[in-house]
Amino acid sequence: MELKVNNCRVCSTSIKPFMTFGKMPIANGFLTAEQFKGEYYFELAPAFCNKCGMLQLIEQPEPEMMFHENYAFFSSLSKHMQIHFRDFANQVKNRVLKDCEDPFVVELGSNDGIMLGNFKDDGIHHLGIEPSENVADVARSKGIQTVSEFFNLKLAEQIVADHGHADVVLSANVMCHIPDINSVAEGISLLLKSDGMLIFEDPYLGDMLIKTSYDQIYDEHVFIFSATSVAWLFGQHGLELIDVLPQLTHGGSMRYVLAPKGSHPISENVGNIFIREREQGLDKAETYDLFRKNCEASKERLVNLLKEEKKVGRRVVGYGATSKSTTILNYCGIGPSLIEFISDTTPLKQGKFSPGMHIPVKPYETFTENYPDTALLLAWNHQTEIMEKEKGFTEHGGRWLSPLPEEKSKT
């Protein structure tokens, strides 16, 4: 798969970026001071395909640079996400697997087993696919069957030979990471039983445009899906969209349910979302032009707010060294002169520096031991959980600052 494309990764139509966020480092590439010199950059520029409706990056780093043995992302660190995946798994068990005899569940990008653990606990036959070896090891240590490879047609054939066809293929915040999506869709189609289901969720384009949450755009997210583009993509591989279920996670996500054509009834949610997406202008160039302007306004607001904090002598600390904040911090040019450090609970990130802007990442205790005046909520997708936890900070007079404006854009 080409890392830089001039044609849509889904339908091969010629595409051009509608904006650029400039040169970007690896979003999850937290690094040591010795590594600053050789830091890798690529151009972060999204394009929209007006044939199949897919929003995508025109350039991506090598997958090995993003997902490797030191990959620092462990899903189970968030309590709310644990609850979210327990509910997700319960819905699958109650609605899909209850009539299956000895069901088989496969998850693409199973991380540390946050979702599959819920199936394992019920003795359900499962298999996780997780290319990051160190993350897969954590899942295996919990007794979750995991293979450490990238999913493709060949691996799908191997799974069918070893385990049989799957009743359900699941994935969460993974499908939008896969540039060679046609080959993955082909593999899923082969892996599923004739009445099986593919159920996956990812950040939703409609929400991103409404909220100007441009931090969803970073190297790993090669696609930002809509119902229209998902239906087009999987329609090429014999699967049809049978339901959509909006989710609050990651600032607004969509769960897509797909099945072999004609095998299941189609929910009215599907027709309704296609209408809503047209009403929102997801198929129009003007919509992306407005998004670009909204990003520029968002940048100006944030930089001005931080400069003002500095001017009046208030200490500002970042909260949550997220991948998505790499886009915000680099696009806005926010470095250690405006943010003292970023507090994060992930041991692998602590003691390192943020990609590109090189803001030190410090353990959570550094934040609580000497509260700053202002905390920039970079992990805004965990707002509810963090606000519950950080009553002490606000009681101490601490103020929260959102990296993205609250008001909605006019899409």
User: Which residues are at the interface with ligand TYD (CB under 6 A)?
Assistant: 73, 77-78, 320-324, 344-346, 349, 364, 379, 381-382, 385-386, 389
Residues 51-80 that bind Zn ion (CB under 5 A): 51-52, 54
The distance of closest approach from Cβ of residue 195 to ligand TYD in the complex, given in angstroms and rounded to an integer, is 34
Q: Say if CB 256 and CB 200 are below 8 A apart.
A: yes
Nearer to ligand TYD, 77 or 100 (CB): 77
Which one of ligand TYD, Zn ion, none is in contact with 386 (Cβ closer than 5 to 8 A by kind)? Answer: ligand TYD
Nearer to ligand TYD, 66 or 259 (CB): 66
The distance of closest approach from Cβ of residue 188 to ligand TYD in the complex, given in angstroms and rounded to an integer, is 23
Q: Which of 3, 7, 11, 22 binds Zn ion (CB under 5 A)?
A: 11
Running DSSP on this structure, what letter comes out for residue 213?
A: -
The distance of closest approach from Cβ of residue 50 to Zn ion in the complex, given in angstroms and rounded to an integer, is 8
CA 205 to chain centre: 12
- Angle at which helix 153-163 crosses helix 181-191, to 10 degrees, equals 20
Distance CA 49, CA 118 (A): 38
The distance of closest approach from Cβ of residue 282 to Zn ion in the complex, given in angstroms and rounded to an integer, is 13
Distance CA 397, CA 314 (A): 12
Which one of ligand TYD, Zn ion, none is in contact with 52 (Cβ closer than 5 to 8 A by kind)? Answer: Zn ion
Q: Please, which residues have CB within 8 angstroms of residue 120's CB and are 6 or more apart in sequence? A: 113, 126, 142, 143, 144, 145
Closest C-alpha among 408, 398, 306, 311 to residue 357: 306
The distance of closest approach from Cβ of residue 212 to ligand TYD in the complex, given in angstroms and rounded to an integer, is 16
Which one of Zn ion, ligand TYD, none is in contact with 242 (Cβ closer than 5 to 8 A by kind)? Answer: none
The distance of closest approach from Cβ of residue 123 to Zn ion in the complex, given in angstroms and rounded to an integer, is 42
Nearer to ligand TYD, 117 or 196 (CB): 117
Residues 15-54 that bind Zn ion (CB under 5 A): 49, 51-52, 54
Q: Say if CB 108 and CB 132 are below 8 A apart.
A: no
Structure tokens at 376: 């920039």
Q: Which helix (H) or strand (E) holds 316?
A: strand 316-319
Centre a 10 Å sphere on the Cβ of residue 148 and count the other Cβ atoms it contains: 17
Nearer to ligand TYD, 307 or 389 (CB): 389
Nearer to ligand TYD, 389 or 408 (CB): 389
Q: Please, which residues have CB within 8 angstroms of residue 52's CB and are 6 or more apart in sequence? A: 8, 10, 11, 13, 229, 232, 233
